[in-house]
Structure 1
Amino acid sequence: MTLPLTSPASTVVFADLDDTLFQTLRKLPGADPATLTPMTVDSRGQPHSHATPAQMALLDLLAAPHVTLVPVTGRDAAAMARVTLPLRSWRVLDHGLTILTPAGTPDPEWAAQVRAQLAPLQEPLRAGTGAIAPHAARLGARLTSHAAHGTPFMTVLKHPDADPAVLAELQDRLEAAHGPDHPLRVIANANNVSLLPRHLGKAAAVRYLLGTHLSGAALTLGLGDSVSDLPFMDECDFALTPRRGQLMRTLRALTLPQR
């Protein structure tokens, strides 16, 4: 299933989904509902996330015959099943811990690599989760553990009101305990704070696909909205980010000298 060098479908786009190709109505204040296209459903089957006209225009471009669209998402299989966007190629789920083949089955080689690398991370993950749990409870945040291939790999902290002060305190506490040399890292956005493997994630999954099944790509594009998407976008020839996303806000805040 490797993409041949001579294939006309030689452009591969690795794209984050939420807040890149679609978002919830809460993040579209003032938008005319008549102009939006439902892209996901909730657990009751009701429309949940929507694409704007600009996002639909982008999706039209990505639907061209010479383009292979590969979602690179934090969604697990159940959440991915609620995405109505037609996806026919490889899919990267669980923040990179799971790769599904075009047939929808886990790639066995990648799964074996992930299980081997997760084994030594179990104790650090338990320790980090245990240390933050009482602070999460005190602040009214919900703590959940996520697993891939039957093995825990991530702890997620959410606040019911997405209180920025609560999330900031939890992020600060986690980052203080998980420095750059720690095997676990912290990622955060407006909705949650997560603790997950430092060297096993979206970027590693994209590198694996580019080195194996998609090695014939003449052009690769990386699409993402978050700072945490930057490593996998950096694996691609070019990067594209929404103008209102976390990554663009971070870039606009930089004051680097012109040289």
Structure 2
Amino acid sequence: MTAAPWQSGGTVAFADLDDTLFQTLRKLPGTDPATLTPMTVNTLGQPHSHATPAQTALLELLEGGHVTLIPVTGRDAQAMRRVTLPFRSWQVMDHGLTILTPDGQPDAEWAAQVTAHLHPLQDALHAGTDAITAPAARLGARLTRHAAHGLPFMTVLKHPDADPQVLADLQDRWDAAHGPDSPLRVIANANNVSLLPRHLGKAAAVRYLLDTHLRGAALTLGLGDSVSDLDFMNECDFAVTPRRGQLMRTLRGLTLPQR
């Protein structure tokens, strides 16, 4: 399976990867492994994440429709190299802070915009990280800092047992310190709670591509599984989400009146 290169007037699909186009076996209990298609490898080169028959059919549908498939992922360059699904167009990585051209080089204009935005946020990012370090250690959570273009941009918390109560407690602490007026925001899905810039991210990267390199698209699709994907999906004409994803679970929980 390959993705069609960009052609003006064509269709573009911006797709989150993990838990949208593939997932680990842990999230596929009871599934016959023989029906799955490996899509990523681990650091030892062994199959790690897999696509279900439905996900494989979706990818084949996009390919058959000559759709330009652009990943929009939180993965960094190292993690992207472990994805075996080939991409031939633009790539959005680092939660939107890095955009690669079809030649595999960082988009210089976007990188300049990102670094200009990140520099003033460094004190806030450091303070937010420092404030959570001791509580995270006390609760057994692992803290990881991530950088893009040589600058820290995100702190991620994980728990070795994916303890929801621990993660919820840490998220509450961050949420209390980073309200709507904060330059930082908190996102959470699966076993991750992350602190990152409010006005940089997947949506800003998709908007940049549509306003510059991908102008003239006849149709745009946004594929994602989590609530944090909703912003970039909203930049597209149509949104597609897996039925067991965080976003669909959230929608099913709404009790809005029918009018």
Q: Smaller-chain TM-score range? A: over 0.9
Gaps of 5+ in 1: none
The answer to whether residue 68 in structure 2 is matched with residue 62 in structure 1 is no
Gaps of 5+ in 2: none
* Aligned twin of 1:229: 229
* Aligned twin of 2:113: 113
Distance 1:162 1:106 in 2: 34
Distance 2:162 2:117 in 1: 32
Structure 2 counterpart SS, 1:63:
helix
Deviation at 1:4, TM superposition (A): 5.7
Runs of 4+ aligned residues of structure 1 deviating over 3 Å after TM superposition are 2-5
Distance 1:145 1:62 in 2: 35
The answer to whether residue 251 in structure 2 is matched with residue 257 in structure 1 is no
Is the Cα contact below 8 Å between 1:3 and 1:215 reproduced in 2? no
Distance 1:216 1:204 in 2: 18
Structure 1 counterpart SS, 2:182:
coil
CA offset digits 1:100-159 (Å, max 9, x no partner): 001111000000000000001000000000000000000000101000000000000000
* Structure 2 letter corresponding to 1:162: A
* Structure 2 letter corresponding to 1:70: I
* Aligned twin of 2:43: 43
Is the Cα contact below 8 Å between 1:3 and 1:216 reproduced in 2? no
Change (3 A) 1:23 1:3: closer
* Aligned twin of 1:131: 131
* Structure 1 letter corresponding to 2:106: P
RMSD over aligned Cα, in angstroms?
Answer: 1.1
Distance 1:258 1:114 in 2: 41
The answer to whether residue 104 in structure 2 is matched with residue 104 in structure 1 is yes
Structure 1 counterpart SS, 2:173:
helix
Distance 1:3 1:192 in 2: 33
* Aligned twin of 1:31: 31
Is the Cα contact below 8 Å between 1:95 and 1:202 reproduced in 2? yes
Distance 2:6 2:243 in 1: 32
% identical equivalent positions = 81
* Aligned twin of 1:16: 16
Distance 1:247 1:234 in 2: 13
Distance 1:121 1:212 in 2: 26
